Every structure is written in C-alpha cells, then in structure tokens.
Chains A and B, each alone.
Chain A
Amino acid sequence: MIRAFLSGMKVHVVMFSRNPFDLSGVVLWPVLYASIAYYLLDSKDNPRLLLAASLGAAVMLMWSLVVIGSSNALENQRWLGTLELLVAAPVPFATVIAPITVASGFVGAYALLATLAWGTLLFHVPLVIEQPLAFAAAIPACILAIGMLGLVMASTFVLYRAAFSLGISLQYPVWIASGLLVPLSVLPSFVGKVGWFLGPYWGFRGIREAALGGTPWPDIGVSVGISLAYLVVGSVCLRAFVHVARRTGSLKLT
C-alpha cells in the first residue's frame, strides 16, 4: 500500500509538471496572492499584521491548489479513461486517491513558500519566524490537513462528472470557515465553530502561531489528529461512493 501511495504521488506530480497551463499558474499565482495580501490590508506600518496577512494568503492559495488540483486530477481520470482501472485495482481505493490530493498538497506547499518569498522580495514583508522548528513542523501538518480534507471531498468527485466545478465551489467556504480570508472574530460565531472541524483551520493557526510567536504545538497536534480522522472518514466515504457508482454505473461517464 505504501508503495502504491508513493508511486501514485510521483505519477501525479510528474503529470502536473508536464502541463504547461498548470505550471504557469503555479508560477503566477503566488505573485498574485502576495499582492492581494499587501494591497488589500494596506498594513505597511504593522509588520506583524502584514506577515499574518501574507501567511493567510499563502494558505488560501495552498487550499485552492489542493481542491482545484485534486478535483481537476479526478476529472482528468475520467477523460483519460483511467478511473475505472484505478477502481478495479486490488489496492484500497483511498490508496489511489490520497496520493492525488497529497501531491496537490506538495504543489500547494511550494506555492505557500513562493507566496511568502514574493511578499518579502516585492513588498518587503518581514519574514521573521519566531519559532522556526514549530514553523517547519506546522507546514507539513497543514499540508496533511489540507490533503486529507481534499481526500474527503475527492470521494464526492468520484460520483460526479463535474468534479472540477464542484472543486471550484468548495474554495470559498473553507477559506472563510478557516479564517483565511478574514479574521473569524468579524464573522458570526457559528462560522468559527465550523472552523473547529476543519483541519486547515488548525494547520493555519499552527503556522501563524509559530511565525508570530505563541503556542503552536497544540494547534499542530489538533491539526494532525483531525487529519487522521479525515483519513478514516475519507476512506469510508470512498468505499461507499464507489459502491454507489458501481450500482448506478456512473464510473465511466465523461
């Protein structure tokens, strides 16, 4: 299973790297998101706020790349005619799908670092990390959280042809509920409670706390715990949805 997982990740990263359109997006988007963080908040005089905004923008981009990347990858499996072959493989289907979302997470991690780097280069965002060790741990924890949330959502993509459209529509709710777009304190209290159930919310908190100084480890721990829960939920959902697709005969609909 581990071999199938690693092999799947390699395949999907290579597939992604050989699509000029995807590649150009990954190069341009970090510049765009770094600009948004800088100009939207107009927080030149508050370096901590500027860094927090840049981090938020970077994680927003990471989530977008994961949800769009994985939904696009799944829709591509239909167009390529490989979805049926993946379902018919003897390894558990989650082992086939998880690499797609985690590979997107790695591309997202690059985008996160690129957004921060562009912010520093172009807008002089002070990239001073208070707790480098915790920061280094928070990033993979956040990738895992985003990748596993992507896995849960990917299970629905197996059922629907329009996976890409569905993926696009899932961007904003997670941005908002995870406090990436605007602070949760300015939103109705129930939105914050929704965020508690989202791994990316805790992952982002871990990154922010590590960068700005605070107590990141509990957030990182919760993020990893929720990711594991997502893995279980995602695997169960995938099994159930593949069963539904076998019953309705919708695996090959392109």
Chain B
Amino acid sequence: MAAIEVEGLCRTYRSRTGIVRRRRAEVHALRGITFEVAEGELFGLLGPNGAGKTTTIKILTTLLLPSSGSARVLGFDPARDPGSVRQRIGHVFGGDRGLYDRLSALDNLRYFGDLYRVPVREKRQRIDELLELVGLRGRERERVETYSRGMRQRLHIARGLLHDPDVLFLDEPTIGLDPVGARELRETIAQLREQGKTVLLTTHYMYEADELCQRIAVINGGEIVASGTPAELKARVLDRTVIEIETFGVEEQTMARLRAVDGVVTVGSETREQALVLLVQSRVGVELVPTLLRELDGTHVGKVVTREPTLEDAYVELVQA
C-alpha cells in the first residue's frame, strides 16, 4: 500500500469582491492531480510559486477540504477522517512563523508534545533526542524570539517529529535560509530518509530536489506536468546543450529573434547580481554561438558558457511549456 495516494484532486478557491456590485471570483489552485508516494520514500513536489504545492499539502494534512477528487494518507481519508490522519503525520512549513516566540524551544516542544499525545514518560527523552538531531542542544532554554531563522526552522522539524509520525510533510522548509542553514537542514532531511520516514517535500529549489528526492513530480498551474526520478527528468533534456550568455539587459524583440533561430529549443533568462543571463537550450551538435551573438549585435555581452543541461533546465522547460 502506498503511504500517500492522490487521485484527481481539485481545489477551487472562491471569493467575493466589491461592496455594492458583488462579484464572485474563482481560482483553480489544483486541476485534478494524481500521484502516489511509497512507504519510506522521499518524494518531491516541485513547482513555482502559486503552482499548487501548498494547497496539496494542506489537503493532505487535513487543513483544507478538496473540491473534488480523493486522497488517502496511510489508508485514511484526510477530508472525512482527519483525526486518524493527524495522529500519524507531521507537518512542517517554511518561514519563521508557527512557533511561540515568547516561549523557549523547550516550552514549545513540551506544549506540542502534549497536543500530539506524546506519553509523559517518553516526552522528555524524545525532546532530548530531537534537540540532538536538529542541533539545538544547549540552546533549548532560550526564547525562540532570539533564534536565527535557521534555528527556528530546525525547531520546526523537531516539533513535526515529536510524536514520531510515519509520514512527514515538509512545505518549502529551506525557504529564506542562508546557504549554510539550508545545507544543515538538508542534512537533517537526508537523515530522516535514512530512518525510513515517508517524506513529502515541496520546494522550488532544483538542487534540493535533485539531492534529496527519490522521485519528483513537477506541478505547474495546478497540474502535474511531469514525474519521475531526477535522472529521468534530466533525461528529457539530455539531447540539449545549454548556452549561457551574460548580458546587461535585452529587449523583448531581441529575445523573439533568438527564439526564432533554427536549432534553438527554448530561451529563458535569470538575473545574477548585475547581469541578465540568457539561457538558450539548443539541440546537441548544433553550433549556435556565432549565430546567437550575431542576433545580439548591439547588445552588451559578457561571458558565454556552453554546458550540459541540469535538472533545473529540465524544470524550466517543463514550467515554461
């Protein structure tokens, strides 16, 4: 039996605007997504902001009801039987909210331990183990308001694991963390995978999904656009070469001209410090650099690098498609 089963899940948010002329607005956050997560698997749900990742997690963690479709967590329906699901899952979301700032880490963990029915005899030992796991041993009596973002995030993980859940939902846990804090947190998540926990991780960082996840589903606009192992997703773009061209601003007409060049598959861009880097995917074996530079005539161009595609390139292609 799969730990998590999702079939044709839809969620529409309805709101009303205006005072005199009331207008109804609808946002389709999920449009019939289907996937499964096996027991002990670390599964990644990858997508840009507003893709539907958090909505999916909220439905699976019983905080939101689906508009249609079905979901099962360890065989229980989160919509109809939330109590059975809640006792068996842990839920950790990103950002620095979700803790009592004026209390110490220890008081936070004790309180949530009681809410999650951790037996009194086990609670103390469990808290000690988790403080060790997340590297907060020695700082547990300090108020949470004095913690850095990384420390808060690790405390979140400890809170989510207090009752030793079978399934853990991690909703963008490394968001806003500095590189060192994010790396430490990824190490903690990797340890959970080694312990055999089932983990559903949402992120929009490709390298994070590549490093941690056994399988990935890419979600965009409320639909799953691709799924598979990181290697399978990368294979989608293995017949490509990526040309990175450093510029300092490019007009839209120039971008359109680049897209029209024979052999170019996609053209994207990303900002890196002061520069705008064009990411041109082309077919392997086609030498396009001179043609592209000709099309960029009149544009200030810096470094040009040709490289093999990464998971990020596969993701960008999927999301932009």
Contacts and interface: CB of A to CB of B under 8 A. Distances in A.
A80 B116 contact: no
Interface stretch (B106-114, B187-195, B211-219): B106-114
Given A7-B114, A81-B98, A96-B115, A249 B62 contact: no
B256 interface: no
Nearest to B87: A90
B116 A89 contact: yes
B86 A88 contact: yes
Interface in A56-103: 79-82, 84-91, 96
Count class of interface residues, chain A: 20 to 34
Interface in B152-204: 159
B114 A4 contact: yes
A81 B115 contact: no
Nearest to B89: A88
Contacts of A251: 63-64
A236 interface: no
Contact of B64 (A10, A15, A246): A246
B103 A90 contact: no
A80 B100 contact: yes
Interface in B5-37: 13-14
Contacts of B103: 11, 14-15
A89 B62 CA distance: 10
B61 A14 contact: no
Contacts of B116: 89-90
A247 B63 contact: no
Nearest to B163: A90
Count class of interface residues, chain B: 20 to 34
Nearest to B83: A90
A234 interface: no
A3 B107 CA distance: 14
A247 B83 CA distance: 16
Interface string A7-40: 1101100110011000000000000000000000
B102 interface: yes
Contacts of A90: 83, 86-87, 115-117
B250 interface: no
A10 B100 CA distance: 13
Contact of B100 (A11, A89, A91, A243): A11
Given A3-B114, A7-B114, A11-B100, A246 B63 contact: yes
Contact of B115 (A91, A243, A249): A91
B101 A80 contact: yes
B91 interface: yes
B1 interface: no
Contacts of B107: 11, 14
B65 interface: yes
Given A80-B99, A82-B99, A8 B120 contact: no
Interface of A: 3-4, 7-8, 10-11, 14-15, 18-19, 79-82, 84-91, 96, 243, 246-249, 251
In the complex, the 5 A-B pairs of residues with the closest C-beta atoms, listed nearest first: A81-B97, A7-B114, A89-B115, A81-B98, A90-B86
Given A82-B99, A85-B91, A90-B117, 5 more contacts: A3-B114, A10-B111, A14-B102, A81-B98, A89-B86
